[in-house]
Chains A and B, each alone.
Chain A
Amino acid sequence: MTPSDRDATGLLTRPDHFVQLVTPTGERRADPEFDRWVADVDADALSRLYRDMSIVRRLDTEATALQRQGELGLWPPLAGQEAAQIGSARALRDDDFVFTSYREHAVAWCRGVGPAELLTVWRGSAASGWNPAEHGIAVPQIIIGAQALHATGWAMGAAWEGSDAASVAYFGDGATSEGDVNEALVFAASFDAPVVFFCQNNQWAISEPVGLQSKQPLARRADGFGMPGVRVDGNDVLAVLAATRIALDRARRGEGPTLIEAVTYRLGPHTTADDPKRYRTDDELAEWRTRDPITRLLALLTSMGVDADALEREVAEEAGRAAAELRAAVTTIPDPEPMTVFDHVYAEPNSHLARQRDHYARYLAMFDDADAAASGAEGGAR
């Protein structure tokens, strides 16, 4: 599917270039270098990407509602970043491995993570919701940028094993200031690790604008680390897909890492605990709404002769069903048993924790005994 006949490196040495294949109004813009990487993406494939993006936006809205209703403790909305996440994740193979931050719900969706698995951690019911080995995606990372090193180590190991699988590190603009991300770029470059550094520059690190993190486009930093960098319109799913395919192709052929800066926007708050009105203007939000990733794709499909109304209706119904499933799933997540608080701290028996666990079990048992005594007294009265 991915053309490998030409060296991709030349395409990625234009960090000032903003790759855009679909304009905000849905016009297809020709790009002699990137087009061939998405030559197979026909109307059907675009419709599938539209479906992905629409469904994850609906799920995201539903999850925010679930938080407002007290079913979730917290939710970090992805709204606005659907193209960046779907376009990149749909470029992956099953045997690739993804290390994300905490906002990549659409990436998790592409990796086959189910609704209950997705919500578990945000409901506070367990430390994580899925088995990474099952889905090829690590459990979400909350420490900013830490996962960039994990993706790099995984990729180094894959290369040492002779595999052509690649890893992707997802992180945001704020993370580019962290040591871990910079150290990951050094390691990946030095070891030619098959890793794609996928930076979603959504303009805001909670309340801090990207200008506080960097005085230049983030993709330009790639040059200093000795790897290609590319800046794409992160709200253009086709451009993101093309750039990710190019980077993965490089990785698989042993040419090493690539830094992709996907320029996008977080339409919602940092999390449901955040109030973006305190740090950004309504005008800015309105401006970015005109660059919405989903509406532009629908406009493109219309121009290609697809019955957009029918597609929109059909996908909306499907998204509604997915949202209902998500809502239903949240109540199926079991509340954890008290003693499971001690589970999985260690892989092997640990005498210290075993003793602490035993003492706490005895403490809890006092209440059982009290209950038993109380019911026993009642029984006696009968």
Chain B
Amino acid sequence: MTTLTFGKALNAGLRRALAADEKVVLMGEDIGSLGGVFRVTDGLKAEFGAHRVVDTPLSEAGIMGTAVGLAYRGFRPVVEIQFDGFIYPAFDQIVAQVAKLHYRSRGNVRMPITIRVPFGGGIGAAEHHSESPEAYFAHTAGLRVVACSNPADAYVMIQQAIASDDPVLFFEPKRRYHVKGEVDESASLADAKPMGVASVVTPGTDVTLVTYGALVQTARDAAIAAAEDGVSVEVIDLRSLAPVDYATVEASVRRTGRLVITHEAGQQGGVGAELAASVTERCFEFLEAAPVRVTGHDIPYPPAKLERHHLPDLDRILDGVDRVLGRPNSLSGVEA
């Protein structure tokens, strides 16, 4: 075991993927000599060369479209989108090409492209630097969407994403890049938990609390706080947003009868909406209360000094837990 920051764990995972398969190429803006604005690719260009770690012109559509061409030729491109809010120029290439080419070519052309996206807020950044666009991609057939929450998962999941023959949107919670954790760099990828499987990170019996990315830590803290109040919260790190590991979520909800979902992204049409609907369809008779969503507001990401009024935090999550339990809460007496 090695103690690594989240960012260094990703760096180690990328290094191992580059070393394992010469068809793996990293592409992005400032990922070479600078090592990326978050230093996730630090040192990789020096180690593998400019044809493996490629600084590109400032064009997200260009990066994504050339990655498609490289995939056509048998490469496994790993694309870095510098910030979540910069992904939209590449949206057409992702949705119309990356997601559909395997289908369009009847399986003859594979798109094993990993799209790394630092996402989410909490770092006091400028506009377009704190967004959570994952639902757009979870809605798109042909893509896999994952979000990692800790260094150990980051190290393994980035390698699994690169090894996947399907395109993967790989969301990295940027406010956790400096969090440290134990990483087993000697472990075999073959023995690792598949990236499509969710993790129960805090066991509990009263409420199932589902989240992903940066909020996993917040949810675990909330579970500790709830326990002090006599409420046992089970926290599930979803890890894969498309497809969702419903087996794990359902098994938990069948035991607890109560579901709270929290994410930074807005509520409308979000990952939580799909989760609430699907869990309700699948285990309605086990539910003691309607699922509760604790999400960002349906607003553009606000200025830095307002973001704490947008992002779900420990207290808002606990308020959601109170709601699902029918305990006094912010909406008591208010008709939903």
A→B interface (CB under 8 Å)? 97, 99, 126-128, 131-133, 138-139, 143, 146, 148-158, 160-161, 167, 179-180, 183-184, 186-187, 190, 343-348, 350-353
Q: Is the CB of B72 within 8 A of A138?
A: yes
CB proximity to A under 8 Å, residues B134-159: 141-142, 144
B186 interface residue (CB < 8 Å to A): no
Residues of A within 8 A of B68 (CB): 149-150, 153
In the complex where A127-B103, A186-B62, A346-B142 touch, is A352 in contact with B92 (Cβ < 8 A)?
no
- Whether A153 pairs with B106 at a CB distance below 8 angstroms is no
The 8 A CB mask of B75-101 against A (1 = contact, 0 = none) is 101000000000001001100110001
Secondary structure class of chain A's binding surface, majority of residues: helix
Within 8 Å by CB of B66, from A152, A161, A179, A343, lies: A152
Smallest CB separation, A346 vs chain B (Å):
5
CB contacts (< 8 Å) of A180 on chain B: these are 61-62, 65, 92-93
CA distance in complex: A155, B65 (Å): 12
Q: Report how far A97 CA is from B56 CA in the complex, Å.
A: 23
Q: Does the CB pair A127–B106 fall under 8 Å?
A: yes
B319 within 8 Å of A (CB atoms): no
Known: A187-B56, A351-B245. A152 touches B69 (CB 8 A): yes
Selected contact of B97 from candidates A97, A146, A160, A179, CB within 8 Å = A146
Complex: A216 Cα to B61 Cα, angstroms? 26
Complex: how many Å from CA A353 to CA B243? 8
Q: Which residues of chain A are near B165, meaning CB under 8 Å?
A: 347-348
- B111: nearest residue on chain A (CB-CB)? A347
Most buried by A among B71, B89, B107: B107
Q: How many angstroms between the C-alpha atoms of A352 and B249 in the bound complex?
A: 14
B65 touches A183 (CB 8 A): yes
Q: Is B325 an interface residue (CB 8 A)?
A: no
In this complex, how many residues of chain B approach chain A with their Cβ under 8 Å: the count is 48
Tell me the complex Cα distance, A127–B104, Å.
Answer: 5
Chain B residues near A149 (CB, 8 Å)?
A: 61-62, 64-66, 68-69, 93
Q: Which of A128, A148, A153, A352 contacts B70 (CB 8 A)?
A: A153
Most buried by B among A146, A158, A346: A346
Whether B96 lies near A343 (C-beta < 8 A) is no
Identify 18 residue pairs between A and B in the complex whose beta-carbon atoms are under 8 Å apart, listed by A's number: A97-B73, A139-B105, A146-B92, A150-B68, A153-B69, A153-B77, A154-B70, A158-B73, A180-B65, A180-B93, A186-B62, A187-B57, A344-B107, A348-B164, A348-B165, A348-B166, A352-B244, A353-B141
Counting CB contacts under 8 A, is B59 at the interface? yes
Collect the chain A residues with CB atoms within 8 Å of residue B105's CB.
127-128, 131-132, 139, 344
B128 within 8 A of A: no
Check if A186 sits within 8 Å of B96, measured CB to CB. no
| CB-CB nearest in chain A for B197 | A351
A183 touches B62 (CB 8 A): yes
B253 at the interface (CB under 8 A from A): no
Report the bound CA distance from A343 to B105 in whole Å.
11
Interface residue? B108 (CB, 8 A) = yes
A132→B109 contact, CB < 8 A:
yes
Assess whether B162 is interfacial by the CB under 8 Å rule: no
- A158 to B66, alpha carbons, bound, how many Å? 12
Cβ distance A342 to chain B, nearest Cβ, rounded Å: 10
A183 CA to B107 CA, complexed, in Å: 28
Asked whether B110 is an interface residue with its Cβ less than 8 Å from the other chain, the reply is: yes
Minimum distance in angstroms from B162 CB to a CB of chain A: 13
Does B9 sit within 8 A of A, measured CB to CB? no
How would residues 98 to 134 of chain B score, 1 for a CB under 8 Å from any chain A CB and 0 otherwise? 0001111111111010000000000000000000000
Which residues on the A side are within 8 Å of B92 (C-beta)? 143, 146, 180
CA distance A93 to B56 in the complex (A): 29
Q: Which residues of A contact B65 (CB under 8 A)?
A: 146, 148-150, 152-153, 180, 183-184
What residues of chain A lie closer than 8 Å to B71, measured between beta carbons? 153
Q: Which of A126, A160, A167 contacts B51 (CB 8 A)?
A: A160
Across the interface, do A343 and B62 meet the contact criterion of CB distance under 8 Å?
no
Q: Report the separation of the CA atoms of residues A143 and B69 in the bound assembly, to the nearest whole angstrom.
A: 15
A150 with B104: CB separation less than 8 A: no
CA gap between A345 and B64 in the complex, in Å? 19
Which residues of chain B are within 8 angstroms of A154 by Cβ–Cβ distance? Answer: 69-70, 72-73
Q: Are A150 and B69 in contact (CB under 8 A)?
A: yes
B196 CB contacts on chain A under 8 angstroms: 351
Identity of the chain A residue whose Cβ is nearest the Cβ of B58 in the assembled complex: A186
B67 CB within 8 Å of chain A = yes
Which of A138, A146, A352 interacts with B243 by CB under 8 Å? A352
Q: Choose one: A97, A343, A347; the contact of B72 (CB below 8 Å).
A: A97
Give the nearest-CB partner of B143 in chain A.
A346
CB B74 to nearest CB in A, in angstroms, measures 8
> A133-B108, A179-B89 are known contacts; what are 13 more A-B pairs with Cβ within 8 Å?
A99-B69, A127-B105, A131-B105, A143-B96, A146-B65, A149-B61, A150-B97, A151-B69, A153-B65, A154-B69, A184-B62, A190-B57, A345-B102
- The distance in angstroms between the C-alpha atoms of A184 and B104, with both chains bound, is 22
Contacts of A345 in B (CB 8 A): 102-103, 141-142
Query: Are A179 and B69 closer than 8 Å at their CB atoms?
Result: no
Q: Is the CB of B57 within 8 A of A155?
A: no
Question: Which residue in chain B gives the minimum CB-CB distance to A151?
Answer: B69
Task: Point out the residues of chain A lying under 8 angstroms from B141, CB to CB.
Answer: 345, 353
- Is there contact, CB below 8 Å, between B109 and A351? no
* Inter-subunit contact B59/A186 (CB<8 Å): yes
CA distance A247 to B220 in the complex (A): 61
In the complex, which residues of chain A have a beta carbon less than 8 angstroms from the beta carbon of B265?
A: none
Partner of B106, one of A152, A167, A344, A351: A344
Given A97-B72, A353-B243: A187 in contact with B66 (beta carbons within 8 A): yes
Q: How far is the CA of A20 from the CA of B127 in the complex (A)?
A: 53
Residue B242 interfacial (CB < 8 Å): yes
Considering the chains assembled together, what is the distance between the CA atoms of A149 and B113 in angstroms?
Answer: 15
Shortest CB-to-CB span from B195 to chain A, Å, is 11
Flag if B61 contacts A155 (CB, 8 Å). Answer: no
By the criterion CB–CB under 8 Å, are A352 and B242 in contact? yes
Interchain CA distance A153-B54 in the complex, whole Å: 12
Top 9 closest A-B pairs, CB basis?
A: A153-B69, A149-B65, A153-B66, A352-B243, A183-B62, A347-B165, A154-B69, A150-B69, A157-B73
Neighbour of A183 across the interface among B59, B110, B144, B246, CB < 8 A:
B59
